[in-house]
Structure 1
Amino acid sequence: MADSLPDRGVTMNEVISQLVARTSVRAFTDEPVSAADERAILEAACQAPTAGNQQLYSIIVARDPALKKALAHTCDDQPFISRAPLVLVFCIDVRRWWRGFGLVGAFPRDPGAGDALLSLEDVMCAAQNAVVAARSLGIGSCYIGDILERREEQARLLGCPRYVVPAAMLVMGHPTPAQLARKKPRRFDLDGVVFENRYNDPSDDELRELLAQKEGHTSDPDDGFDAWLSAFCRRKWNSGFSREMSASVARTLADFTFAADGVAVEPGQGDAE
């Protein structure tokens, strides 16, 4: 059970305790994830909310050590990815239904940007179910954002055809003692992100107070807040990673908007690559 959070007025039960206590884990013991636990995690993922019960995703379990090493290399050379006992790649997948409609002569339109975004919502619901299920089994996890940033390379590595796009990756395993001892970074207080009926755009002073919560600063420039926020902007918002992520998402949406090579190919009559 996680510690309670009396200062935030949280009513705790076992599920909420697991959610509150969960942190990203990047170092794992040598203990493998058992076949039973893996199956439970995947079953939980596939029970997630999904648009129209379509399950617009596929999950690729990366087992081959060479594949895991290649994924780690293309994800900013993060070696803990290749060492993770369980690596799951969640893919946007509207190909399954698109092809199925073609098989029965339903003349489906080409998938578009809306389909990609709807599928992405399905992906993240399934992935988060997997995270919660893993935590309940004592298994740690970490999301890898680079999977979408470098999605063209990832798609080649994973053999993804058209309208199947790697969108989220989770690495999982049993946390090391040091990882278990890590303090969870602070989240915003609810009044900074939860509003009633209408969005509340904070004043400049209110915004400074809100953002300062993340690192335990005050909003006073003399407390280092300005320097911290400027450095955070350079490291995250203005980083090459962030810029490439936006470019990759734009390419993904463009891919879903236009037929391959500008030539429409009917589903059920071969691949559209």
Structure 2
Amino acid sequence: MNEIIKSLYDRKSVRVYEDRPIPEKMKQIILEAAAQAPSAGCQQLYTILDITDQKLKDELVKTCDNQPFIATAPMVLVFCADCKKWYDAYLEAGCSPRKPGVGDLMLAVTDTAIAAQNAVVAAQSFGIGSCYIGDIMENCEEQRRILNLPEYVFPAVMLVFGWPTKQQLERTKPQRCDQKHIVHENTYRSMDGNELREMFGYQCKNRSFEDWMNAFCNRKYGSDFAKEMTRSVGEYLKQFENE
């Protein structure tokens, strides 16, 4: 197994960090690696916010479901899907562009997520751990305020980075679903009840499928934070819903 493939297998979310900074040179390499990601039409439909202000990190703890490790992470990046900069450039050039729509946003989110994952892979190559924070999509009013987000800019991905503690390095990576359930040949295949039970069986351990699935549904899918994320994303979408 080559080093890149091994790093992809080894990488897991890290939420506890050693108290030491990430050298500026490494940070710049990680940011440049993000910018080298594939991009639709080479437009780079994202803007990366490098969060260096400790007060802002502390606010992000609160707006991202009170996760204290955000405040202590040596590097925090917010990757914004940015449909504004090209629209502004078109206007600057005297074009008559239509307003950005949901298709433009989806393309920008794709660009943004690919760039973020490049940063994760680059960081892993240095031994730097990372964790995705999906909660950046919640509390849109507060995120807009503290990050100064204008129209047509959506905070799609947040990442925190740091040197993993020994316990984090030794922690077992969560198991993934068997590939036969994840990879469908040529066309989508809806799975029946038996296959769904087989796919998630490793999660249930000593519990029944019904017990585990109900608990997970209540804890994640039906949670207050999931409902808030749906509400917030809906608010962001309103600016892209043009006739």
Taking structure 1 as the reference length, what is the TM-score of the superposition? 0.86
2:39 alignment partner, one of 50, 58, 64: 50
In the TM superposition, 1:1-273 aligns within 5 A as 12-216=1-205, 223-258=207-242
Q: Secondary structure at the match of 2:21?
A: coil
Residue identity in the other structure for 2:223: S
Cα distance between partner residues in 2 of 1:121 and 1:216: 35
Asked if the contact 2:140–2:235 (Cα under 8 Å) also holds between the matched residues in 1, the reply is no
Q: Is the Cα contact below 8 Å between 2:134 and 2:158 reproduced in 1?
A: yes
SS of corresponding position for 1:157: helix
Say which SS state the counterpart of residue 117 (structure 1) adopts: helix
CA apart distance, 1:94: 1.1
> 1:24 Cα deviation (Å)?
0.2
Q: Is the 8 A contact 2:84 2:152 kept in 1?
A: yes
Deviations 1:193-243 (A, max 9, x none): 1011122222211111111123546xxxxx433211110010011111111
| Partner Cα separation in structure 1 for residue 134 and residue 140 of structure 2 | 10
Determine if contact 1:151/1:167 at 8 Å carries over to the other structure: no
Aligned residues: 243
The answer for the alignment partner of 1:6 in structure 2 is: none
Aligned-pair Cα RMSD in Å: 1.4
Q: Which letter does structure 2 place at the counterpart of 1:41?
A: I
- What amino acid does structure 1 have at the position aligned with 2:160? V
The answer as to whether partners of 1:32 and 1:173 remain within 8 angstroms in 2 is yes
| Structure 2 letter corresponding to 1:18 | S
1:153 positional shift: 1.3
Q: Percent identity?
A: 50
* CA deviation map 1:61-88 (0-9, x unaligned): 1011101000111111111001000000
TM-score, normalized by length of structure 2? 0.96
Aligned-pair CA distance for 1:119: 0.6
Provide the rounded CA distance (Å) in 2 between the counterparts of 1:204 and 1:240.
28
In 1: Cα distance, 2:95 partner to 2:221 partner: 44
Higher relative contact order (CA 8 A, sep 6+): 2
Larger radius of gyration between Structure 1 and Structure 2: 1
Question: 2:47, 2:53 → 1: CA distance?
Answer: 18
Task: State how far apart, in whole Å, the 2-side matches of 1:233 and 1:164 are.
Answer: 31
